């Protein structure tokens, strides 16, 4: 997100190979730190890092960026960048370049002939083409959940390892464009083996303080649970003055830049002035850093389409600046890479200040906190898509090749895997892309769903022994499914979690009475309720059901249960949609665990009682909206990135008595499900009216009597919990310019407030922005529709017209938990995983033929011999190479947050699964591209005292112990019991 590029002709592969042969003797020996160029200990060393930042979608789609089309929107063609860079690196062995976005690299790589591939491999082996970051994309750090964030990194790193070997493995994480940086993602980088992280965007107040204290480079202690230095990560902030990841002012030599080249032979003869300006910039930047090494990024968005322009001018700059040393200059300039710069910092043998929180971000007086909520429908689709990808991968692992080549056609999980990986990009899940690009991201996900649905059907048929006509109803959230509206059917419910769950099922039907039976043929209690007016209006003519069938389904761990549904009374009462009765809001609802009270006059939520703990809390909830169009203080309006309300006081929606209809465009249903310890709030918002000329940002606010002392708590990427304090930052004295937006934080999965006794937690079904603007309150932004661009580059307002062009309608859920402080984590940890890895419904008419002659059909199946303990989560189960599966197990509690949940747990991997037998196990790094024993990270000295890495213990797969917040990754060789099943089977 900054500036574009242009093109040039590229020499053929044969010419490149010849150039490398001629220059090979002069090339640096080997890759890694040993390939780094020599520096001068007596001088200031300026490391020039040639790079291009290639957004995997933003103003153009991924394909448009790669092929270089729609240049009237932005001039950018990634294929030409890679062509041009390779040619220029081959032309001079002193030159270096770094590249980050593997989604583009993999696409380009598939198009190259073997001669070009050999050339690129040689450049990588010489350390002159270095991969940084190494993810499929440069993921966001606020709206991305840790599960898919790990997956997209692993996907990119696996490609690099497969094609380039050990020299292709990134040593440096490269997060130069995300709008803030999270503690959990730093912990992930550390556990994948990265030696350091470089970031481009640091809050302007934080940066000013750090520059003054020479703390732009520090040690990030990214976990309070993992023993140091497991999650410690050296972190460098770049850019002086605030040029983020761009070149210094006056030194941009790309095709689209206007800075003059250095020329000593013409009448311009501007070399002296250019060199003097560069020396002044270098001296100024060095004042903010502690060593005699500084880094300058030479490139920007989609630069180097004509790499000759950049390299020719940098060659001259290096020569002329270094020539000044003869006249007493103390500056030495060199081509370098982030890892070579990092190596010099490590060699300095200093101790570094320690940071333990995260990096919220503002680039000026206005806060980039709007994107925590922007495009809420896509944020939900991304979350659902990852959920389905995990189910698809698990079933592929359990059923083997028959899942990919079964009776329903060829299934392929890689399409969805790559689409979900792209969706983690910092201009994708963030909602900061143009509308047509958001549509393309959704299209990629939809194509992935189609391939995975075939795979799921093949796998379920194989595992169940029955070839059903499997139906995937993708619009159940608006009560549309032709099969269930017709009559008798079966419900196959797959549970991706490693423990048994009870899950509420809600299906559209047209009968008034149904019988539901479980896998053993036993009756299951059910009820039929009318479809709400809001749902009928939302679906339009897409469905005809006027009732919804509700029942609670129990599903075994890592398995499925099949339920049969039969309509009992065809002649039962039918209700025409126009005459569906409006349900009056009861004054209270209750189940085994909770009682919820409503105000008899207004219908608002009034009080929640936890019957198990005999505690109660007054809770008022309402929807409000912030107006966001700029005001007399500043013309800055809210947009895709920025949240800037005109006033700190939002405008309430009046509640109309009934099904909690707050307005014609805002409604909510409050539910208690049988046996469940939470209150479900299903909200429907939109189309947000804007005819009055006001953009609106809609919040759901909860007000309580809790004494919270300005504190509230949010998750970091869905995993660690961080304390937040209003108008406060732990590492600098905050000058608060936005009292609302400046206190908003990303909420991936939960937000809570507490006093010394009670805790109120709200779980979300997607990433949202949230805060506590006054004591005892919580608020979550659920939708936003804005009329102005916020001038951060996307160039269009966040209007989101939706399919009918009238405005987007969004539906979602909040789960509300009331508990004691001591017990709260035991509930919110498990429920957050249930929301993230939710069971999946597949439907069928029933009565399908046998899958294999003589094979009995199974109505219930579990791939585990026993449930996993509640504090252990099966994060990953997916096919890897032939005969092997990738497994990730994680401890999902933090140290000290639960008496029982925070204890270490030991699991017997060898006897865990019933679907296959594990014959051997190798423990891997978190990225799964390196054996754990091969990880050897640079050891840094914290200012608070040294921490030595612990040796990797010998693996006993029958006793795998997980400590709080630990993730352990394994490659397992497996043998399947069913002939023909399993990876590598016939």
Residues with catalytic roles: 177
CA distance 161 to 144: 24
Structure tokens at 691: 């005819």
Strands 331-335 and 44-50, sheet pairing = parallel
Instruction: Please identify which residue in the block is written with the tokens 């930042």.
Output: 53
Q: Nearest CA to 187 among 559, 929, 717, 655?
A: 717
Count of residues in the chain: 986
Judge if the upstream peptide bond of residue 152 is cis by omega within 30 degrees of 0. no
**CB hemisphere CA count around 858 (13 angstroms):** 17
CA distance 684 to 702: 17
The answer to whether the CB of 254 falls within 8 A of the CB of 5 is: yes
Q: What is the DSSP string of 590-644?
A: E-SSEEEEE-TTT--EEEEEETTTTEEEEEEEEEEEEE-S--SS------SS---
Which H or E run contains 414?
Answer: helix 414-423
Strands 196-199 and 172-175, sheet pairing = parallel
CA distance 121 to 137: 21
Taking the CB of residue 542, how many other CB atoms lie within 10 A of it?
Answer: 11
Strands 884-891 and 967-976, sheet pairing = antiparallel
Taking the CB of residue 675, how many other CB atoms lie within 10 A of it?
Answer: 12
Taking the CB of residue 187, how many other CB atoms lie within 10 A of it?
Answer: 29
Query: 516-523 long-range contacts, Cβ below 8 Å, gap at least 24?
Result: 516/549, 516/551, 516/563, 516/564, 516/565, 517/563, 517/564, 517/566, 518/553, 518/554, 518/561, 518/563, 519/561, 519/562, 519/563, 519/859, 519/860, 520/859, 520/860
The torsion angles phi and psi of 864, rounded to 5 degrees, stand at -110, 145
CA distance 895 to 903: 8
The answer to whether the CB of 760 falls within 8 A of the CB of 778 is: yes
Which H or E run contains 403?
Answer: helix 401-404
CA distance 219 to 491: 52
The answer to whether the CB of 749 falls within 8 A of the CB of 145 is: yes
- The 10 Å CB-count burial string (b at 16+, else e) for 240-273 is bebbbbbbbeebbbbbbbeeeebeeeeeeeebee
Three-class secondary structure of residue 174 per DSSP: strand
Structure tokens at 456: 């799921």
Give the C-alpha distances (Å, rounded to integers) separating 172 from 100, 233, 421, 824: 10, 10, 20, 38
| Three state DSSP letters for 478-546 | HCCCHHHHHCCEEEEEEECCCCCEEEEEEEEECCCCEEEECCCCCEECEEEEECCHHHHHHHHHHCCCC
The answer to whether the CB of 727 falls within 8 A of the CB of 774 is: no
Sign of the C-alpha dihedral computed for residues 409, 411, 415 and 420 taken in this order: positive
CA distance 227 to 904: 13
């Amino acid at each position: 997100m900054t500036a574009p590029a242009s093109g040039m002709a590229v020499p053929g592969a044969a010419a490149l190979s010849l150039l490398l042969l001629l220059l090979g003797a002069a090339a640096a020996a080997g890759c890694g730190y040993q390939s780094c160029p020599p520096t001068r200990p007596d001088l200031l060393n300026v490391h020039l890092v040639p790079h291009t930042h290639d957004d995997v979608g933003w103003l153009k789609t991924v394909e448009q960026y790669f092929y270089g089309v729609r240049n009237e929107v932005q001039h950018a063609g990634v294929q030409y960048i890679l062509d041009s860079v390779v040619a220029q690196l081959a032309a001079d062995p002193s030159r270096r370049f770094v590249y980050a976005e593997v989604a583009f690299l993999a696409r380009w790589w598939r198009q190259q002939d073997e001669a070009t591939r050999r050339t690129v491999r040689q450049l990588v082996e010489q350390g002159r083409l270095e991969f940084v970051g190494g993810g499929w994309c440069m993921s966001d750090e606020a709206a991305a959940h840790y599960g898919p964030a790990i997956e997209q990194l692993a996907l990119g790193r696996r490609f690099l390892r497969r094609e380039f070997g050990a020299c292709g493995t990134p040593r440096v994480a490269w997060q130069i464009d995300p709008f803030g940086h999270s503690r959990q993602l730093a912990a992930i980088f550390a556990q994948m083996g990265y030696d350091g992280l470089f970031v481009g965007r640091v809050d302007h107040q934080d940066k000013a303080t750090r520059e003054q204290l020479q703390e732009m480079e520090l040690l990030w202690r990214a976990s309070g649970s993992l023993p140091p230095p497991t999650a410690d990560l050296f972190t460098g902030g770049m850019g002086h003055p605030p040029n983020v990841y761009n070149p210094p002012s006056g030194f941009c030599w790309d095709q689209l830049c206007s800075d003059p080249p250095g020329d000593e032979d013409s009448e311009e003869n501007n070399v002296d002035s250019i060199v003097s300006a560069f020396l002044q910039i270098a001296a100024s930047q060095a004042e903010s850093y502690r060593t005699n090494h500084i880094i300058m990024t030479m490139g920007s968005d989609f630069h180097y389409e004509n790499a000759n322009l950049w390299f020719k001018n940098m060659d001259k700059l290096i020569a002329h600046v270094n020539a000044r040393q003869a006249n007493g200059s103390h500056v030495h300039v060199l081509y370098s890479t982030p890892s070579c710069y990092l190596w010099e910092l490590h060699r300095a043998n200093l101790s570094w200040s320690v940071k333990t929180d995260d990096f919220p971000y503002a680039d000026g007086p206005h806060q980039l906190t709007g994107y925590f909520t922007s495009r809420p429908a896509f944020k939900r689709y991304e979350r659902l898509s990852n959920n389905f990808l995990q189910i698809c991968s698990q079933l592929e692992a359990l059923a083997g090749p028959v899942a990919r080549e079964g009776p329903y056609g060829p299934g392929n999980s890689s399409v969805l895997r790559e689409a979900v990986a792209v969706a983690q990009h910092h201009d994708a899940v963030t909602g900061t892309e143009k509308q047509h690009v958001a549509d393309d991201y959704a299209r990629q996900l939809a194509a992935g769903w189609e391939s995975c649905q075939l795979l799921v059907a093949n796998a379920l048929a194989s595992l169940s022994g029955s070839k059903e006509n499997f139906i995937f109803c993708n619009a159940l959230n608006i009560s549309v499914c032709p099969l269930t509206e017709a009559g008798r059917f079966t419900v196959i419910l797959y549970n991706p979690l490693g423990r048994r769950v009870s899950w509420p099922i809600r299906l559209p039907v047209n009968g008034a009475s149904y019988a539901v039976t479980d896998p053993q043929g036993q009756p299951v209690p059910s009820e039929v309720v009318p479809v709400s007016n809001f749902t009928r209006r939302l679906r339009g003519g897409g469905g005809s059901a006027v009732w919804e069938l509700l029942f609670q389904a129990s599903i075994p761990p890592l398995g499925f249960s099949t339920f049969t549904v039969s309509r009992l009374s065809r002649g039962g009462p039918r209700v025409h949609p126009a005459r569906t009765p409006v349900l009056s809001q009861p004054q209270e609802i209750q189940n085994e665990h909770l009682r919820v009270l409503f105000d008899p006059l207004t219908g608002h939520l009034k009080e929640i009682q936890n019957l198990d703990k005999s505690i109660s809390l007054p809770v008022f909830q309402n929807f409000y909206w912030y107006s966001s169009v700029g005001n007399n203080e500043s013309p800055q309006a809210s947009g895709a990135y920025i949240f800037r309300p005109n006033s700190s006081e939002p405008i309430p929606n009046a509640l109309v008595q009934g099904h909690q209809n707050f307005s014609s465009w805002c409604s909510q249903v409050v539910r208690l499900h049988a046996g469940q310890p939470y209150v479900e709030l299903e909200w429907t918002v939109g189309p947000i009216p804007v005819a009055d000329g006001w953009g609106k940002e809609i919040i759901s606010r909860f007000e309580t009597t809790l004494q919270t002392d300005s504190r509230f708590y949010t998750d970091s990427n869905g995993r660690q919990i961080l304390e937040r304090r209003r108008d406060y930052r732990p590492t600098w004295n905050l000058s608060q310019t936005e009292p609302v937006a400046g206190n908003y934080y990303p909420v991936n999965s939960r937000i809570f407030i507490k006093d010394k006794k009670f805790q109120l937690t709200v779980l979300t079904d997607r990433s949202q922005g949230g805060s506590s603007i006054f004591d005892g309150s919580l608020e979550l932004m659920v939708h936003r529709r804005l009329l102005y661009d916020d001038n951060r580059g996307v160039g269009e307002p966040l209007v989101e017209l939706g399919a009918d062009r009238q405005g987007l309608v969004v539906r979602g859920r909040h789960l509300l938990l009331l508990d004691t402080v001591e017990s709260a984590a035991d509930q919110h940890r498990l429920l957050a995983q249930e929301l993230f890895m939710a069971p999946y419904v597949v439907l069928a008419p029933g009565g399908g033929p046998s899958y294999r002659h003589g094979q009995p059909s199974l109505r219930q199946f579990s791939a585990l011999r026993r449930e996993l303990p509640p504090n252990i989560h099966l994060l990953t189960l997916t096919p890897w190479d032939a005969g092997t599966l990738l497994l990730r197990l994680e401890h999902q509690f933090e140290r000290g947050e639960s008496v029982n949940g925070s204890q270490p747990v030991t699991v017997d991997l060898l006897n865990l699964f019933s679907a296959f037998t594990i014959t051997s196990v190798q423990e891997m790094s978190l990225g799964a591209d390196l054996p754990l024993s091969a990880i050897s990270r640079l050891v840094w000295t914290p200012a608070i005292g040294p921490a030595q890495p612990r040796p990797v213990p010998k693996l006993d797969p029958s006793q795998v112990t997980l400590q709080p917040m630990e993730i352990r990754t394994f490659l397992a060789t497996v043998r399947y019991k069913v002939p023909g099943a399993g990876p590598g089977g016939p």
